[in-house]
Chains A and B, each alone.
Chain A
Amino acid sequence: MRREGSAFQGVGAVFVKELSDNISSVRMLMLELLIVLTAMAALYEAITALRQNTAEDPFLLLRLFTVSQAPLPSFVAVLGFLIPLMAIGLGFDLINSEHNRRTLSRILAQPIYRDALLLGKYLAGLATIAISLTALWLLVIGLGLIFLGVPPGGEEIARSLAFLVIAVFYAGVWLSLAMLLSIVFRSPATAALVALGVWLFLTVLWPMLAPAIAQAIVPPDPRFAALGLDTPGTVIWTQLLQRFSPNDLFGEAMLAVLSPTTRTLGPVFLDQIRGAVMGAPLPFGQSVMIAWPQTVGLIACTIVLFVAGYVLFQRQEVRA
Chain B
Amino acid sequence: MSEQQNNSAATRPAAVIAARDLTKRYGKTSVVDAINFDIAKGEVFGLLGPNGAGKTTTILMMLGLTEISAGRVSVLGFDPARQPLQVKRRVGYLPDAVGFYDHLTAVENLAYAAKLMGLAMAERSRRIAAALTRVRLLDVAEKRVATFSRGMRQRLGLAEIIVKRAEIAILDEPTSGLDPQATIEFLDLIRELKAEGVTVLLSSHMLDQVQRVCDRVALFRAGKIAMMGSVAELSVQVLGAGFVVEVEADGAGIARRLAAIPGVGNVETLADDRFRMTADRDVRADAARAVVAANGALRRLSVDEPSLEAIYAHYFQATPSGGVRDAA
A interface list, Cβ under 8 A from B: 1-5, 9-10, 13-14, 16-17, 21, 101-113, 317-320
Task: Please choose the segment from B41-49, B87-95, B230-238, B258-266 that sits at the chain A interface, where 4 or more of its residues have CB less than 8 A away.
Answer: B87-95
Question: What is the chain B residue whose CB lies nearest that of A104?
Answer: B99
Contact with A along B32-48 (1 / 0, CB 8 A): 00000000000000000
Picked from B60, B94, B103, the residue with its CB within 8 Å of the CB of A318 is B60
Whether B96 sits at the interface, judged by CB under 8 Å, is yes
Contact partners of B100 in chain A: CB under 8 A: 101, 103, 106
Instruction: Verify B116–A111 contact, CB threshold 8 A.
Output: yes
A2 to B83, CA, bound (A): 9
How long is the Cα–Cα vector from A141 to B116 in the complex, in angstroms?
40
A319 touches B56 (CB 8 A): yes
Q: Mark B42-85, 1 if CB is under 8 A from A, else 0.
A: 00000000000000110010010110000000000000011111
Chain B interfacial positions (CB closer than 8 Å to A)? 56-57, 60, 63, 65-66, 81-86, 88-89, 91-103, 112-113, 115-118, 157, 160
Contacts of B56 in A (CB 8 A): 319
Docked-complex contact B88 and A110, CB < 8 angstroms: yes
Chain A nearest CB from B323 CB (Å) reads: 28
With A1-B81, A113-B84, A320-B99 known to touch, is A106 a contact of B160 (CB < 8 Å)? yes
A107 to B98, CA, bound (A): 10
Q: How near does chain A come to B24, taking the closest CB pair, in angstroms? A: 11
Given contacts A102-B95, A102-B98, A318-B60, contact A109 B88 (CB under 8 A): yes
Question: Closest approach, in angstroms, between the C-beta of B85 and any C-beta of chain A?
Answer: 4
Q: How far is the CA of A106 from the CA of B159 in the complex (A)?
A: 13
Query: With A and B bound together, what is the CA distance between A205 and B100 in angstroms?
Result: 41
Asked if A106 contacts B118 (CB within 8 A), the reply is: no
Of all chain A residues, the one with the shortest Cβ separation from B26 is A317
Q: Which residue of chain B is the closest to A12 with respect to CB atoms? A: B115
Cα-based distance from A320 to B83 in the complex (angstroms):
22
Q: Determine the chain B residues whose CB is within 8 A of the CB of A4 once the complex forms.
A: 82-86
CA–CA, A106 to B60, complex, Å? 11
Given contact pairs A10-B115, A106-B100, a sample of 9 additional A-B residue pairs in the complex whose CB atoms are under 8 Å apart? A1-B81, A1-B82, A4-B86, A106-B113, A110-B88, A111-B84, A318-B60, A318-B65, A319-B57
Distance A107 CA – B113 CA, assembled complex (angstroms)? 7
Q: Which of B91, B94, B99, B116 contacts A101 (CB 8 A)?
A: B99
Set of chain B residues within 8 Å of A14, measured between Cβ atoms: 116
Q: Shortest distance in angstroms between A316's beta carbon and chain B's nearest beta carbon?
A: 10
CB distance from A320 to the nearest CB of B (A): 4
Assembled-state Cα–Cα distance A270/B50 (Å): 78
| Central interface residue in B63, B93, B95, B102, by most chain A CB within 10 Å | B95
Interface-central residue, B97, B100, B101, by most chain A CB under 10 Å: B101
Asked whether A110 lies within 8 Å of B117 as measured between CB atoms, the reply is yes
Q: Which of B81, B97, B115 has the most CB of A within 10 A?
A: B115
6 of the cross-chain contacts (CB-CB < 8 Å) are A3-B84, A5-B85, A13-B115, A103-B101, A110-B116, A113-B84
Expressed in whole angstroms, the Cα–Cα distance for A10 and B89 within the complex equals: 13
Considering the complex of A and B, which 10 residue pairs feature the smallest CB-CB distances, nearest first? A102-B99, A13-B115, A109-B93, A110-B116, A103-B99, A5-B85, A111-B88, A320-B95, A101-B99, A111-B89
Q: How far is the CA of A111 from the CA of B57 in the complex (A)?
A: 19
Among residues of B, the one whose C-beta sits closest to the C-beta of A14 is B116
Query: Which residue of the partner chain B has the closest CB to A13?
Result: B115
Also in contact, A105 and B93, with CB within 8 A (given A17-B112, A110-B116): yes
Nearest-Cβ distance from residue A101 to partner chain B, whole angstroms: 4
Once the chains bind, are B116 and A106 in contact (CB under 8 Å)? Answer: no
Complex formed: what's the CA distance from A103 to B81 in Å?
22
Asked whether B113 lies within 8 Å of A110 as measured between CB atoms, the reply is yes
Of all chain B residues, which has the CB nearest A315?
Answer: B67
Residue pair A105, B95 in contact (C-beta under 8 Å): yes
Which of chain B's residues have a CB closer than 8 A to the CB of A107?
Answer: 113, 116
Q: Are A106 and B99 in contact (CB under 8 A)?
A: yes
| Contact yes or no, A13 B85, CB < 8 A | no
Min Cβ gap A256→B in Å is 43
Does the CB pair A102–B85 fall under 8 Å? no
The residue in chain A whose Cβ has the minimal distance to the Cβ of B81 is: A1
Bound Cα distance A2, B65 (Å): 16
